[in-house]
């Protein structure tokens, strides 16, 4: 009935795919197909299984005629089986770097795949990574002192990328191709040892297999155990993070520094990784940082505030990047922009009356500057804004959110929403009003 002689292997593939993607027959996938044996077997398995899919191929034009022959093989396969074919041909505009060609090629590849997925409304990308790729990745990551995530290898299903051949060895894939006359092309550059992965493939793995002929099978079992261990650790970290204090309104996660210091290095590292801090040296600095220290990454900022670690998601455009904001006055109400209101309301509310005769219009909001002083209502004399912040025990993150209400002469009318300057206070019913 089946064209495949190795029926069990076909069924094994189908079972793996169904585990990764329940109701797989109802979905349409994008397959990344280079023309090599791995991806051509993947395409053949999908076609024989009657699955709905489209194919994406990228021609880097790095191997002269070989690159074009790869493209022709893939396009012929698509034409034969009436499969939608998407091609990207790399050109001079793609600016090939002198080094890190593999990283450049990978980035181009995935940009193209994401573009096709979006245009064709294809939720899942399927790649032909296999067990030997998994082993090579493990060895490379081991050489870099990776943590459990790196050592647990390439995930079979993560971020809408599916890898159904991950438990198949390269030999099994070649056997598929030979037994079922699957056409493919060999990339001669894979025989070179210029790149780290190729060095591992040709120089390291064969030596390991000499030591133990069942090395690859044993490695596969070890990966299962490592992944189970990773899952247990993830559950533990999730439980720890759930126990931290959070502020839904501000998006802050607050960790007690003393409790955090009592955790093992492994737990602390894994927690920090969840907040985007993965550099080991930076992590060590965080562990020993003093109050007021500030750390950033692409997603979060972390402030060390006395006995707390305060994590907060970075906003794409933060209000403090604005130099100043001129304010409108309608009737007698000074209009504070809603986005600023919502940001400072976490510190409290205020209702101020401001003497019209003592301020110069226009009024504005701005951030604290070096040397700023004001005369807090209810106090005698002036106080530096920096000292006021300190007395209010404001964290660095809180200070970043505070706005000063000033007039055109740079007189500070108040620190919103904490304290008005007493010099401008008024009981006159016709005075300007600020409401937070």
Q: What is the spatial distance between Cα 212 and Cα 226, in angstroms, rounded to a whole number? A: 20
Highest mean pLDDT of the ranges 1-15, 27-41, 296-310, 343-357: 27-41
pLDDT band per the 50, 70, 90 thresholds, residue 10: confident
> Does the pLDDT value for residue 249 go beyond 70?
no
**How do strand 364-366 and strand 373-374 relate by DSSP bridges?**
unpaired
Mean pLDDT of 65-90: 96
**pLDDT in the model for residue 399:** 87
Percentage of the chain lying above the pLDDT 90 cut: 59
What digits encode the pLDDT tens for the residues 119-147? 999 999 999 999 999 999 999 999 987 88
**pLDDT in the model for residue 144:** 86
What digits encode the pLDDT tens for the residues 38-59? 999 999 999 999 999 999 999 9
Closest CA to 413 of 367, 371, 364, 380: 364
**pLDDT in the model for residue 345:** 86
pLDDT band per the 50, 70, 90 thresholds, residue 215: very high
Mean pLDDT of 5-14: 68
Is there a binding annotation on residue 36? Answer: yes
Q: What is the spatial distance between Cα 434 and Cα 436, in angstroms, rounded to a whole number? A: 7
Which segments of 154-299 are extended strands (E)? 157-158, 161-162, 245-247, 252-256, 294-296
Is there a binding annotation on residue 37? Answer: yes
> Does the pLDDT value for residue 353 go beyond 80?
yes
In sequence order, the 6+-apart residues with CB closer than 8 A to the CB of 230 are: 148, 149, 152
Torsional class of 80: left (φ above 0), alpha (ψ -120 to 50), beta (otherwise): alpha
To the question of pTM greater than 0.85 for the whole model, the response is no
**pLDDT in the model for residue 99:** 67
| DSSP assigned state of 357 | G
Q: What is the spatial distance between Cα 414 and Cα 396, in angstroms, rounded to a whole number? A: 19
Torsional class of 327: left (φ above 0), alpha (ψ -120 to 50), beta (otherwise): beta
Mean pLDDT of 13-35: 93
- Range of lowest pLDDT (2-6, 25-29, 346-350, 400-404): 2-6
Mean pLDDT of the chain: 89
- Sheet with 252-256: list strands edge to edge: 245-247, 252-256, 308-313, 300-305, 294-296
| DSSP assigned state of 289 | P
**pLDDT in the model for residue 261:** 87
Instruction: List, in order of start, the domains of the chain with CATH numbers.
Output: 7-228 (3.40.50.620), 243-313 (3.30.465), 323-435 (3.50.40.10)
What digits encode the pLDDT tens for the residues 323-337? 688 898 888 999 998
Q: What is the spatial distance between Cα 386 and Cα 392, in angstroms, rounded to a whole number? A: 10
Between 79 and 12, name the one with better pLDDT: 79
**pLDDT in the model for residue 322:** 54
């Amino acid at each position: 009935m089946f064209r495949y002689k190795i029926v069990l292997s076909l069924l094994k593939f189908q079972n793996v795919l169904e585990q990764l993607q329940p109701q797989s027959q109802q979905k349409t996938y994008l397959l990344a197909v280079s023309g090599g044996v791995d991806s051509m077997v993947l395409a053949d398995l999908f076609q024989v299984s009657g699955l709905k899919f489209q194919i994406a191929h990228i021609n880097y034009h790095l191997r002269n005629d070989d690159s074009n022959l790869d493209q022709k093989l893939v396009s012929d396969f698509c034409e034969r089986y009436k499969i939608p074919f998407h091609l990207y041909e790399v050109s001079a505009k793609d600016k090939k770097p002198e080094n890190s060609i593999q990283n450049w090629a990978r980035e181009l590849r995935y940009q193209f795949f994401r573009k096709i997925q979006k245009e064709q409304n294809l939720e899942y990308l399927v790649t032909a990574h296999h067990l030997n790729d998994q082993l090579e990745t493990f060895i490379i990551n081991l050489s870099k002192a990776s943590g459990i995530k790196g050592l647990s290898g390439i995930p079979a299903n993560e971020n809408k990328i599916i890898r159904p051949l991950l438990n198949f060895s390269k030999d099994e894939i070649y056997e598929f191709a030979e037994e079922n006359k699957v056409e493919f092309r060999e990339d001669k550059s894979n025989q070179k040892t210029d790149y780290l992965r190729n060095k591992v493939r040709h120089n390291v793995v064969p030596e390991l297999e000499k030591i133990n002929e069942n090395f690859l099978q044993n490695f596969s079992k070890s990966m299962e155990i490592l992944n189970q261990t990773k899952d247990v650790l993830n559950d533990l970290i999730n439980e720890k993070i759930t126990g931290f204090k959070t502020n839904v309104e501000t998006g802050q996660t607050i960790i007690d520094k003393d409790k955090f210091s009592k955790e093992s290095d492994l737990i602390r590292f894994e927690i920090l990784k969840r907040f985007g801090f993965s550099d080991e040296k930076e992590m060590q600095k965080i562990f020993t940082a003093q109050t007021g220290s500030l750390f950033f990454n692409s997603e979060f900022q972390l402030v060390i505030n006395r006995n707390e670690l305060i994590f907060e998601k970075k906003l794409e455009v933060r209000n403090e990047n604005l130099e100043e904001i001129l304010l409108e006055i309608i009737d007698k109400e000074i209009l504070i922009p809603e986005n600023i209101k919502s940001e400072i309301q976490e510190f409290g509310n205020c209702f101020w009356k401001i003497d019209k005769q003592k301020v110069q219009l226009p009024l504005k909001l701005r951030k604290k500057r070096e040397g700023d002083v004001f005369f807090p209502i209810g106090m005698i004399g002036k106080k530096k804004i920096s000292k006021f912040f300190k007395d209010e025990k404001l964290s660095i993150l809180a200070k970043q959110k505070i706005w000063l209400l000033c007039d055109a002469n740079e007189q500070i009318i108040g620190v919103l929403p904490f304290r008005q300057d007493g010099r401008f206070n008024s009981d006159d019913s016709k005075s300007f009003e600020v409401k937070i």
